[in-house]
Amino acid sequence: MATEAEAFKVFLDFVWRPENDGARRDAAPGEKFNTVRGVTEMTWSGAQQNKIVPAGATLDDSTDEQLAAVLHWCCWQLPGAEKLADRGLGALAIVVANMAMAAGPGTAVKMLQQTVGNGLKADGGFGPNTLAAVTEVAAEPGRDLVGQYTQTCLRYYASLANAPQFLHGWTRRANACEAAARTLG
């Protein structure tokens, strides 16, 4: 069973692949980055407000350590992936974190709650009831929450207004993330 830190490393290695969000682009003199290694300006600002990175630090000059800290906060801690990994559900944590990166932590948790069912209200809050229900359902013989969650994500993507333009890429990434997550065993 992988540790929480090992699961986060698999997530980070996945999202930092060049075909995902991993390329650290060189900006022309005076040009600003909009996104660096999957961290947007808006997420960076939120991380500063929450003291994840120093107030004076800029996304343009960010280090990989700072970017990893931001992703750990917004994609790992906020949607409960850290707690899932602590319960031995590292592969599920990775696909939840990937969805948090794509659609925000609340949406990622709502989709987890929908996937699990089990009387859970899909409210987007990851609390003790969600953790207990996920843990219980994950222990059921024959349940593949990683695959089921990926399918929930794909249905969500297909429902979006801009799906005709982006669905192929979203599908590729969701399936690639599932494959990466399953490397944990």
48-62 per-position pLDDT tens digit: 999 999 999 998 889
Residue 4 tokens, joined:
């929480």
Residue 25 has pLDDT above 70, yes or no: no
Residue 162 tokens, joined:
């801009």
Residue 62 tokens, joined:
């960010």
Neighbours of 115 (CB within 10 A): 25
What gap in Å lies between CA 68 and CA 91, rounded to an integer? 19
| pLDDT given for residue 28 in this prediction | 55
pLDDT band at 85 (very low <50, low <70, confident <90, very high): very high
pLDDT in tens, 61-70: 899 999 999 9
Angle, in degrees to the nearest 10, between helices 41-49 and 64-71 = 80
What gap in Å lies between CA 7 and CA 21, rounded to an integer? 18
Residue 67 tokens, joined:
């970017």
Domains of the chain: residue spans and CATH? 1-185 (1.20.141.10)
Q: Which residue has the tokens 């947007």?
A: 40
